[in-house]
Amino acid sequence: MNTQRPLEGITVLDFTRIYSGPYCSMLLGDLGAYVIKVEKKGTGDDSRQFRPKPNIKEGSGYTMYLNRNKKSVELDLKDETARGIIYRLCEKADIVLENYAPGVAKKLGIDYDTLKKYNPQIIYGSISGFGQTGPYRNKAAYDIIAQAMGGYMAVTGPKNGMPIKLGTSVGDSCAGLHMAFALMAAMYYRQRTGIGQYIDISMMDSVFATLENHVMIQTMDHITPVRNGNSNQNAVPFNTFRTSDDYVAIAVANDALFEKFAQAIQRPDLLENPDYKTTNNRKLHEDELTKIVEEWTTKHTTKEVCQIFEDYKIPVGPILGIDQLVEDPHILAREMMIEVDHPYGGKIRMPGCPIKFSETKIDHFAPSSALGADTAQVLREIGGYTQKELEDLAEAGIIPR
């Protein structure tokens, strides 16, 4: 297996903070890119103050995960000399990434139109709540707002109950994933044409684009999808069900699986009932079929239900808690829990990289840096600054000593 990672040789100038952008640049760093995280002088990324164990200088657990494999550069971007440093670094960068509100990068003098003067081939990505155009462009947003306005909350939650956001900030991560994909597509385009470009990714767009078939149900069937707990829009039984000791998730997605399901619960009579013969009919009679399913599942433990259905190759699974997942044998076998020897936190366990290649191993996870700790190194290695220049910048208070 080749020890070289796929993105080695790619330099990323990263102005992002909190989640959407840092998740994107973390993936790039995991894959070998040289990621330069530019942080606000004095306070750095807001996530340095998040749980667990907030610490502005050394970083929190939140920071330690999302900002591994990155170099921290501390600058006041409102300072003209600091902006000059950015322009010099930009000349050697392949990608610039930011997730400020629209217009902020331009005010700071680090927008696409400005930076492409220093590097015409630069690929510049902007993540924001609602994008750089449209009537909502200046509206403030965090993940919950994107989930609310993008459609997730309209279809998430109990039937006839209040709308619920998904348990994690998937609007952020979804935008970060779309941006990572777009950056790689732009890199490929530049490789063929020599032309860089600007990429605009919106959290609301990303949420809306991942509504599965809900939009098509609206536009083709003229039925507005609504909250319906954990049930599926199409298939039954496809839900979470009570067991004698907890809950279990069962996914019977087609007629062939339903035949196996009826055999597994020893109810062959269900196959003769016209109400349950097809997927569409089962959906029309979902409430009564759900009662039949739970009459059976509540007589068994979650472990028993899983074992019975797995024997029949029916998709089934327990509701695993985070405490169980961090010790789960499959997660461990897939190297999805890694240990990073952190200079400030000791040996820290965190999620690994979900991308698995056949020819390159993703197993290098450098610890996140203290605020500004890599400033001189980055300026020397990427910007070509001499020792005298670095000393002068430190003396003037532009970079940390």
Considering the domain architecture, whether residues 385 and 288 belong to the same structural domain is answered as no
Among the listed residues 172, 200, 205, 374, the single catalytic one is 172
The DSSP 8-state label assigned to residue 131 in this structure reads -
Considering the domain architecture, whether residues 75 and 22 belong to the same structural domain is answered as yes
Q: Would 68 be classed as within a structural domain?
A: yes
Considering the domain architecture, whether residues 341 and 313 belong to the same structural domain is answered as no
Q: Would 113 be classed as within a structural domain?
A: yes
Q: Would 323 be classed as within a structural domain?
A: no
SS3 226: coil
Q: Would 226 be classed as within a structural domain?
A: no
Q: Would 60 be classed as within a structural domain?
A: yes
Considering the domain architecture, whether residues 52 and 132 belong to the same structural domain is answered as yes
Q: Taking the model in full, what pTM does it have?
A: 0.95
Question: Whole-angstrom Cα distance, residue 342 to residue 95?
Answer: 27
- Burial of 366: CB neighbours in 10 Å, binned 0-12, 13-18, 19+: middle
CATH number (domain holding residue 261): 3.30.1540.10
Bridge partners for 127 per DSSP: 201
Domain finish residue from 259, 286, 318: 318
Considering the domain architecture, whether residues 260 and 299 belong to the same structural domain is answered as yes
The tally of domains found in the chain comes to 2
Is 172 designated active site? yes
Considering the domain architecture, whether residues 203 and 163 belong to the same structural domain is answered as yes
Distances (CA, A) of 176 to 44, 206, 223, 285: 20, 9, 31, 40
Q: Would 136 be classed as within a structural domain?
A: yes
CATH number (domain holding residue 197): 3.40.50.10540
What is the pLDDT at residue 345?
Answer: 85
Considering the domain architecture, whether residues 270 and 355 belong to the same structural domain is answered as no
What is the pLDDT at residue 321?
Answer: 98
- Burial of 313: CB neighbours in 10 Å, binned 0-12, 13-18, 19+: exposed
Domain finish residue from 318, 348, 372: 318
Q: Would 368 be classed as within a structural domain?
A: yes
Tokens in use for 262?
């009826």
Considering the domain architecture, whether residues 178 and 298 belong to the same structural domain is answered as no
Q: Which domain covers residue 256, as residue numbers?
A: 238-242+247-318
The tens place of each residue's pLDDT in the chain, 401 residues long, gives 677 899 999 999 999 999 999 999 999 999 999 999 999 999 999 999 999 999 999 999 999 999 999 999 999 999 999 999 999 999 999 999 999 999 999 999 999 999 999 999 999 999 999 999 999 999 999 999 999 999 999 999 999 999 999 999 999 999 999 999 999 999 999 999 999 999 999 999 999 999 999 999 999 999 999 999 999 988 999 999 999 999 999 999 999 999 999 999 999 999 999 999 999 999 999 999 999 999 999 999 999 999 999 999 999 999 999 999 999 999 999 999 999 999 988 999 999 999 999 999 999 999 999 999 999 999 999 999 999 999 999 999 999 98
Considering the domain architecture, whether residues 117 and 253 belong to the same structural domain is answered as no
User: Where does 243-372 show beta strands of DSSP type E?
Assistant: 247-251, 316-318, 337-342, 346-351
What is the pLDDT at residue 246?
Answer: 98
What is the pLDDT at residue 384?
Answer: 97
What is the pLDDT at residue 2?
Answer: 72
Cα 262 to chain center, whole Å?
38
Q: Are 116 and 196 in contact (CB under 8 A)?
A: yes
Considering the domain architecture, whether residues 299 and 377 belong to the same structural domain is answered as no
Considering the domain architecture, whether residues 66 and 189 belong to the same structural domain is answered as yes
Q: Would 174 be classed as within a structural domain?
A: yes
Tokens in use for 383?
């910007």
Domain finish residue from 288, 318, 348: 318
Considering the domain architecture, whether residues 58 and 130 belong to the same structural domain is answered as yes
